[in-house]
């Protein structure tokens, strides 16, 4: 940590890796991970091995060894079933049924006792994406509907409650928000994302209190937003609320070995460096 964060209630969070140590195989799987304690000792070490399909086959955490096995099958009706075994005991079963006529897919997940823990029904056409998800006891958890234009851009994002009532909606034109409404009693959220060719990703997000925010992430020269140069947050009136700037020092392979995060102080207009991260990368 460097200087104190000037924001009183930050909404833009700095992404940090979940583990302080990670080792990868030549094909990109994590084969070892862990953390370091205050004395610099390696702790919480977990090693992983994988089967020929790239599925986790075994993990070792301290003295505990856990074996995993995945069994896949396809029924005569075309449904696909995946069973997950932990130490040779069935822990989960997922059944997937697709219907090409309606562009729909149903995924049902159950536990080792056969209890349905989730059911997802999705329908994806060229202009409409409909998603419904139920949890335990058949309780509806999510029902969203996205309408798209001919270029595949979202033009409407809707959220419905368990009765089918519209509780939140956003409308867009060419990636820009044109209107927004949300029931103040819905206790729900809504989100729509747009990725632009110039290396910018934009999220429109509503929160449970009904407030709408626009999150703009800059990653010029990179197709995705997993590593960004800057991020800005605006309210529904277009007022800038927060700004983060990331600066990097990179090695010969283009991967960063030092990263400094600065935050805009709205009171002074200055960028304040609040955090510096370092990484040591070994290639083999």
The share of the chain scoring above pLDDT 70, in percent, equals 100
pTM metric for this prediction: 0.87
Query: 143-186: per-residue pLDDT in tens?
Result: 999 999 999 999 999 999 999 999 999 999 988 999 999 999 99
Q: Tell me the C-alpha distance between 272 and 7, whole Å.
A: 10
Q: Which two tokens stand for residue 119?
A: 């059911």
pLDDT of residue 76: 83
pLDDT, tens digit, 9 for 90 and up, residues 90-148: 999 999 999 988 999 999 999 999 999 999 999 999 999 999 999 999 999 999 999 99
Quick: pLDDT tens for 45-80. Answer: 999 999 998 999 999 999 999 999 999 999 888 899
Q: What local confidence, expressed as pLDDT, does residue 92 receive?
A: 97
Whether residue 18 has pLDDT greater than 90:
no
Cβ contact 127:147 at 8 Å: yes
Band of pLDDT at residue 87, cut at 50, 70 and 90: very high
Mean pLDDT for the chain overall:
94
pLDDT digits (tens, 9 = 90+) for 195-223: 988 899 999 999 999 999 999 999 999 88
Confidence bin at 284 (pLDDT 50/70/90): confident
Backbone angles phi, psi at 136, to 5 degrees: -60, 145
């Amino acid at each position: 940590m460097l200087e104190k964060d000037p924001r009183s209630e930050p909404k833009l969070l700095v992404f940090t890796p979940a583990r302080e140590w990670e080792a990868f195989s030549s094909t990109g799987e994590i084969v070892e991970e862990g953390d370091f304690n205050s004395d610099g000792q390696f702790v919480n070490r977990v090693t992983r091995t994988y089967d020929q399909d790239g599925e986790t086959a075994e993990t070792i955490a301290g003295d505990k060894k856990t074996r995993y096995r995945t069994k896949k099958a396809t029924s005569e009706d075309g449904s696909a079933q995946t069973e997950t075994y932990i130490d040779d005991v069935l822990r989960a079963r997922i059944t997937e049924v697709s219907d090409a006529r309606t562009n729909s897919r149903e995924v049902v997940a159950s536990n080792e006792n056969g209890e349905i823990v989730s059911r997802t029904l999705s329908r994806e056409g060229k202009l409409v994406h409909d998603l419904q998800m139920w949890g335990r006891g058949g309780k509806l958890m999510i029902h969203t509907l996205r309408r798209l234009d001919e270029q595949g851009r979202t033009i409407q994002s809707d959220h419905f409650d368990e009765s089918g009532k519209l509780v939140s909606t956003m409308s867009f034109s060419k990636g820009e928000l044109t209107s927004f409404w949300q029931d103040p009693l819905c206790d729900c959220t809504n989100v729509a994302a747009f990725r632009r060719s110039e290396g910018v990703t934009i999220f429109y997000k509503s929160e449970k209190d009904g407030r709408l925010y626009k999150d703009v992430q800059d990653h010029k020269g990179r197709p995705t937003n997993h590593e960004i140069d800057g991020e800005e947050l605006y309210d529904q009136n277009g007022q800038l609320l927060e700004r983060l700037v990331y600066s990097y020092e990179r090695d010969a392979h283009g991967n960063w070995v030092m990263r400094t995060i600065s935050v805009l102080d709205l009171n002074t207009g200055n960028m304040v460096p609040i955090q510096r991260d370092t990484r040591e990368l070994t290639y083999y």
